[in-house]
Structure 1
Amino acid sequence: ISDKIAFFITLSLKQMRNVTLKSTEDEFEISFVCHRPDDLEILQEETEFSKKELQFLYRAFKNECPSGVVTEDVFKIIYSQFFPQGDSRTYAHYLFEAFDTNRNGCLSFKEFVAGLSLILRGSIYDRLNWVFNFYDLDKDGFITREEMMKIMKSIYDLMGKYVYPSMHDDTPREHVEKFFQKMDRNLDGGITIEEFMESCQKDANIMRSMRLFDSVF
């Protein structure tokens, strides 16, 4: 993991927060009656969000997706609005898959808030575990160089021409090699969750990056 990756995820979540919190509580209470999820109390028990926070999040979710679910195509369209200077489609695809835990191609409100709760309110272990699974694209329990390269390229595509400092063709690969030098302790070409956790928790910069999420919502 790097400060850049943590920053990009944080930035996208801050944008979601800005959309969510633009309405007042009074305005929300009027419309919330029509959109109240049946399992609000259950979600409050299963996540680290308060009832008011869940209400705000649900209204924003329903405003963007009146059907109550988000398809990947819709998710990409919403996400592209936050990064108009680049091509966010690939990164949005990976992020969507990380939230779509039941792998049915649709993101429900329950999946959405469960993921946000882990990222924003979870323990350091919860957050690092989520990030590991985000990188582990094929979900086989290992992060490979190929998977990390795909993620890094998607990040630079996301930022587009405004990446600073300007990157050259080898920049994503250089980041991947630094990542593996730090994480791949047994040099087998794959990073396990144990290697990832141990390396991250010993790195002050990584721990500081994880704490960026504390101020998002």
Structure 2
Amino acid sequence: MTSLSGGRGHVWDRLHKDKQQEYRRWQKKGQKEEEMKMKSEANSVEDDFELSTVCHRPESMDKLQEQTKFTKKELQVLYRGFKNECPSGVVNEENFKNIYSQFFPQGDSSMYAHFLFEAFDTNKNGSVSFEDFVFGLSIILRGTINDRLNWAFNLYDLNKDGCITKEEMLDIMKSIYDMMGKYTYPTMQDDAPREHVESFFQKMDRNKDGVVTIEEFIESCKKDENIMQSMQLFDNVI
């Protein structure tokens, strides 16, 4: 969720644009499923949860509407898209990586998808349910600035110890460059991820202790116009 001013900040901007396309793909998939469903039967939203192939049935749409910032209609569309990709009602990490790779065919998205899966799998049971998916998506798309920045910090804080180290940020940056692919940035140097990390820490690590805390992260992001603009890219995705 972060974009650095100047330097190689364009990598983040491209990533956010690709993410917009990703979420729209889920939406369109759900809308197509919804149209087909409406033509074939007039069942209620709750009937969607009664499929024999579903191993995990989500909570009611009314309850999910209360817990997220989506309307019932939006949840229905998202559920149909999720169900189309994950008929069992949950997705494991391997399948999540396979789905995510469709959005970045030009590179290797497996490592970034791993980090993203860890962020969505909040109860750490090795699978992402529809509830996990929409709770995370609600924060990313409809959350406050603080909500989104907290979610992004949690994504980058790989060992969840409350701070981001250079090693963690380097792993994140390498995964992003791998995902974007050499065809996206053919002239990118091998040391580009490390340079980006150094730029990140120069901007974020205010007390120069070698780690970035959540307070430093949020404060620095709010002062960066590029970061704020990149976060707004998600405002009208759904």
Scaled to the shorter chain, the TM-score interval is over 0.9
Does the 8 A contact of 1:6 with 1:212 survive in 2? no
Structure 1: distance between partners of 2:14 and 2:120:
18
- The residue matched to 1:107 in structure 2 has which SS? strand
Per-residue deviation at 1:134? 0.6
Structure 1: distance between partners of 2:48 and 2:169:
39
Which structure 2 residues correspond to residues 51-130 of structure 1 after superposition, within 5 A? 51-130=72-151
> CA 1:12/1:215 → structure 2, altered by over 3 Å: closer, same or farther?
same
Of 218, 226, 238, 1:205 maps to: 226
Number of aligned residue pairs: 217
Does the 8 A contact of 2:106 with 2:184 survive in 1? no
Of 14, 20, 28, 1:21 maps to: 28
Per-residue deviation at 1:147? 0.4
Per-residue deviation at 1:66? 0.8
Per-residue deviation at 1:28? 3.8
Does the 8 A contact of 2:46 with 2:60 survive in 1? no
Structure 1 length as normaliser, TM-score?
0.93
C-alpha RMSD over aligned residues: 1.8
Does the 8 A contact of 1:86 with 1:158 survive in 2? yes
Question: Structure 2: which amino acid aligns with 1:46?
Answer: Q
> CA 1:183/1:165 → structure 2, altered by over 3 Å: closer, same or farther?
farther
More helix by share: 1
Structure 2: distance between partners of 1:109 and 1:6:
27
Question: Structure 1: which amino acid aligns with 2:36?
Answer: E
Partner of 1:5: 12
Partner of 2:53: none
Structure 1: distance between partners of 2:78 and 2:166:
36
Per-residue deviation at 1:98? 0.6
Does the 8 A contact of 1:153 with 1:172 survive in 2? yes
Bigger Rg over Cα? 2
Partner of 2:62: 41
Partner of 1:186: 207
Runs of at least 5 residues in structure 2 that lack an aligned partner in the other structure:
4-8, 50-57
CA deviations over 1:11-48 (Å, ceiling 9, x no partner) = 23532322432417543444755423442111100100
